[in-house]
């Protein structure tokens, strides 16, 4: 079975050398040498400052909310954050888990990112933040979102889980907002098996978050604040360092897959529209079909032939009961019902990719 994505596994001998060093030092966690090295290298590679490594992407969001005061409750009031319904569940569930009510605003029909025109109407006295998502690595309208946030004195935390290495207007997309979070899950373009990171705009927020991810402990006998265990360990960092060493080869292979899909399918299917100033990372290849019926049929045909595509993101999150009842967001609901992400990873062979294209074309003609 060909999966929708496959973890990139780097050179085993190099990984073994890193692991040998871990055994020699017997320093497995608590800001070890490899975590320090990976932090420095990622800041340089991504062109950012104030990067904090954490144990997964969901905790990256939750720590960012805490560090920026989004989840600091006011007696008698329910804090709220405006976010998109077209995203992975963790964007919204991390808010809800931390006591912040996600309030959904609809997306743009072409970029599939949060529509800035819908944010203003959702703001009220309980709103503390805007949590947009750079969906599939595509840039939100960061200028418009920043303007709305400044006007209403709101924090902006970008879920940038898909945006590793993406540049917009010549600088990292991670430099926008008060914070941007990354997921380093095994299926991501860059991964540490499990893991994540937060890029803060301000140094003081980084320093506060550093204390938070180690239980609030700042010394052998000192606990300054409420914290949690969100530290990245040395084995995760070792994997990340090896993957980072081979990033250019990984990107080149994924780009070739992405462009073959684009050449074959762009005339027949709706693709995500990206700004010209975006330097993309080829992390995903989503396509939108004419109807939900056609989408389901294509996914079933691919699966029958050993090829997995994913309805990503489905369902639109305003319909998820545990997040709180919400009115339909029509654009998100429509895109979510008709979208498939096609298999894309560095090891995907041209024959397998051509089989995917041929099966889709046959279904479109049926």
Q: Phi then psi for 358, rounded to 5 degrees?
A: -60, -45
- CA 211/CA 2 separation, integer angstroms: 42
- Choose, from 44, 96, 188, 252, the residue flagged as catalytic: 188
Structure tokens at 252: 């080149």
Cα 50 off chain centre by: 18
Question: 316 Cβ partners below 8 Å, 6+ apart?
Answer: 85, 86, 328, 329, 332, 333, 335, 336, 337
188 catalytic, yes or no?
Answer: yes
The residue length of the chain stands at 366
Residues 74, 100: contact at Cβ < 8 Å? no
Q: Is 217 helix (H, G, I), strand (E, B) or coil?
A: strand
Cβ-count burial 200-215 (b if 16+ within 10 Å, e if not): bbeeebbebbbbbbbe
Q: Number of C-alpha atoms within 13 angstroms, CB side, residue 176?
A: 27
**CA nearest to 360, candidates 290, 313, 312:** 290
Residues 197, 160: contact at Cβ < 8 Å? no
Residues 63, 54: contact at Cβ < 8 Å? yes
Question: Among positive and negative, which fits the CA dihedral 124, 96, 74, 326?
Answer: positive
Q: Phi then psi for 270, rounded to 5 degrees?
A: -80, 125
Residues 254, 282: contact at Cβ < 8 Å? yes
Annotate 297-354 with DSSP letters as a single string. HHHHHHHHTTB--B-TT-S-GGG-GGG------HHHHHHHHHEEEPP--TT--HHHHH
DSSP at 229: B
- CA 327/CA 316 separation, integer angstroms: 11
Residues belonging to the active site: 188
């Amino acid at each position: 079975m060909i999966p929708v994505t496959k973890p990139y596994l780097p050179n085993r001998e190099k990984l073994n050398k890193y692991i040998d060093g871990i055994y020699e030092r017997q320093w497995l966690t608590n800001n070890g040498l490899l975590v320090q090295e990976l932090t420095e290298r990622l800041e340089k590679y991504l062109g950012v400052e104030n990067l904090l490594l954490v144990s997964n992407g969901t905790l990256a969001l939750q720590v960012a909310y805490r560090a920026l005061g989004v989840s600091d409750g006011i007696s008698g009031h329910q804090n709220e954050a405006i976010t998109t319904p077209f995203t992975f569940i963790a964007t919204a569930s991390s808010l809800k888990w931390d006591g912040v009510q996600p309030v959904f605003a609809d997306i743009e029909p072409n970029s599939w990112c949060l529509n800035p025109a819908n944010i203003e109407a959702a703001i009220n006295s309980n709103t503390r933040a805007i949590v947009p998502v750079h969906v599939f690595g595509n840039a939100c309208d960061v200028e418009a979102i920043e303007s709305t946030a400044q006007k209403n004195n709101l924090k902006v935390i970008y879920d940038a889980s898909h945006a590793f290495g993406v540049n917009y207007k010549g600088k990292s997309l991670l430099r926008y907002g008060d914070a941007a979070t990354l997921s380093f899950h095994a299926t991501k373009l860059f991964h540490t098996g499990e893991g994540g990171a937060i890029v803060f705009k301000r140094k003081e927020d980084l320093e506060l978050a550093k204390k938070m991810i180690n239980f609030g402990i700042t010394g052998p006998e000192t606990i300054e604040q409420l914290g949690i265990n969100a530290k990245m360990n040395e084995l995760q960092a070792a994997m990340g360092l090896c993957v980072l060493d081979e990033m250019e080869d990984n990107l080149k292979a994924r780009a070739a897959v992405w462009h073959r899909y684009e050449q074959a399918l762009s005339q027949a299917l709706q693709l995500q529209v990206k700004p010209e100033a975006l330097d993309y990372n080829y992390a995903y290849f989503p396509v939108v079909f004419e109807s939900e019926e056609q989408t389901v049929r294509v996914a079933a045909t691919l699966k029958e032939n050993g090829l997995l595509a994913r309805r990503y993101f489905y369902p639109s999150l305003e319909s998820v009961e545990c997040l709180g009842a919400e009115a339909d967001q029509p654009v998100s609901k429509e895109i979510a019902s008709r979208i498939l992400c096609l298999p894309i990873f560095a090891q995907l062979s041209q024959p397998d990719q051509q089989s995917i294209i041929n099966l889709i074309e046959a279904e479109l003609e049926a």
